[in-house]
Each structure stands twice: as structure tokens, then as C-alpha cells.
């Protein structure tokens, strides 16, 4: 959980601030409803190949790891919870251990992955 004022102060002068800001989601979803959503996904779906089927919260990370060709580096970065956008795509950002934005990913509804650097530039 991050303070939006701090994020704004730190990144407001970045050329692609608006693009990165659009990846931030503010929700009132509590832990119980998140757990219910997680439990409603079948275990086979959460372990399915990331190249198959619909993009869901359960397989967003799998699709990014397939795109990268390796597991995400959780010892160096902290990955935020994926959030679904109105167009059906899923997005999430990641920060370094100091809390500085390091980049973000968008997984489109068709399963294609887009990666952005800390300034919102496509990689």
C-alpha cells in the first residue's frame, strides 16, 4: 500500500506520468471478497499454461513470466496486485525494495504482454 501523495510528488515530472498513473487502481475491496474471488477460480485454471484461454487474475503472472522467460524476481522487486481494466486487460506495477517505481506490465485480453519502464516507456 502506497501513499498517493508521495507517489505524485516523486513522479509528477516524469514525461509519461499519466500513463503510469492510469495503472494505479484504488479499490474498496476487502480481504474477504478477494479471498472469495481467489477461491472461486479452479486450481486447474490457476495452474494452466499461460498461453491458453482467457486472461484472469489467476494467470496474469504466469503470462508475464512466460513473456520474460523466467520467474519474476521477488527478491529485488515487489509486485503489486494485478487489476483488471475496463477493456479486459490486466495491469500491475512493480517497485524496488526502496519503494521506487521500477516498471509495469499490461497483459491484454488476448494474452499479449506489454512491459513499461519506470517512466512509462515501452521496453
**Mean per-residue pLDDT pooled into runs of 10, the chain (123 residues):** 65 71 61 47 38 81 95 94 93 94 95 94 92
114-122 contact pairs (CB < 8 A, 24+): 115/67, 116/16, 116/19, 116/20, 118/14, 119/14, 119/15, 119/16, 119/20, 120/14, 120/15, 120/16, 120/17, 120/19, 120/20, 121/16
In a domain, 64, yes or no: yes
**pLDDT given for residue 71 in this prediction:** 94
Q: Report the pLDDT value the prediction gives residue 49, as an integer from 0 to 100.
A: 38
Q: What residues make up the domain containing 10?
A: 4-117
What does the pLDDT read at residue 74?
Answer: 92
Q: What is the domain count for the chain?
A: 1
What pLDDT is recorded for position 72?
Answer: 93
In a domain, 123, yes or no: no
Domain membership flag for residue 122: no
Amino acid at each position: 500500500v502506497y501513499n498517493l501523495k508521495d507517489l505524485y510528488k516523486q513522479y509528477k515530472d516524469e514525461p509519461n506520468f499519466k500513463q503510469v498513473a492510469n495503472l494505479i487502481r484504488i479499490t474498496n475491496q476487502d480481504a474477504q471478497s478477494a479471498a472469495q474471488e481467489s477461491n472461486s477460480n479452479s486450481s486447474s485454471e490457476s495452474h494452466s499454461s499461460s498461453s491458453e484461454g482467457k486472461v484472469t487474475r489467476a494467470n496474469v503472472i504466469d503470462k508475464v513470466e512466460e513473456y520474460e522467460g523466467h520467474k519474476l524476481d521477488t527478491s529485488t522487486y515487489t509486485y503489486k496486485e494485478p487489476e483488471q481494466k475496463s477493456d479486459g486487460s490486466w495491469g500491475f506495477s512493480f517497485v524496488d525494495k526502496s519503494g521506487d517505481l521500477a516498471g509495469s506490465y499490461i497483459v491484454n485480453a488476448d494474452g499479449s504482454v506489454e512491459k513499461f519502464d519506470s517512466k512509462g516507456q515501452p521496453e
